[in-house]
Amino acid sequence: MESIHCPPFAALVQRQLDAYNAHDAGAFAACFSADVRCQRHPDDAPFLLGREALQAFYARERFVHAALHAHLAHRIDLGARVIDHERVVGLPGGPREVVAIYQQGTDGLIGRVWFVAPA
């Protein structure tokens, strides 16, 4: 595969996607700020708050599924914001389409994520 240059935040978003697909909860969580907020659009309240909660959720609810894999369909790099359109397979209920909007935190890690699912 040809190597392409990625700006630092987009490279971090790619690193968390690679860790997700490797089912590596520690490497995945290391890409996120200690106080990360994960929200499901259009809800204002986070469904996950903090790196520890994020790591525990993904270890318990996602990475236990051996066939879990997120295929990147499209990425938009806006500097401190990266928008990914993903097709996720290997979860109960069948394949899912999701848009994830990643916002860089003040520490350079992923500080906020909004997940948008089809209506």
Sequence ranges of the domains in the chain? 8-116
Q: 89-98 burial string, b = 16+ CB within 10 Å, else e?
A: ebeeeeeeeb
Q: Helix, strand, coil: what percent of the chain each, to 5?
A: 25, 40, 35
At the topology level, CATH places domain 8-116 in Nuclear Transport Factor 2; Chain: A, (3.10.450)
Q: Give me the chain's average pLDDT, please.
A: 94
| CB-based contact 49:39 (threshold 8 Å) | no
pLDDT digits (tens, 9 = 90+) for 49-96: 999 999 999 999 999 999 999 999 999 999 999 999 999 999 999 999
User: What is the reported pLDDT for 43?
Assistant: 92
User: What is the reported pLDDT for 5?
Assistant: 59
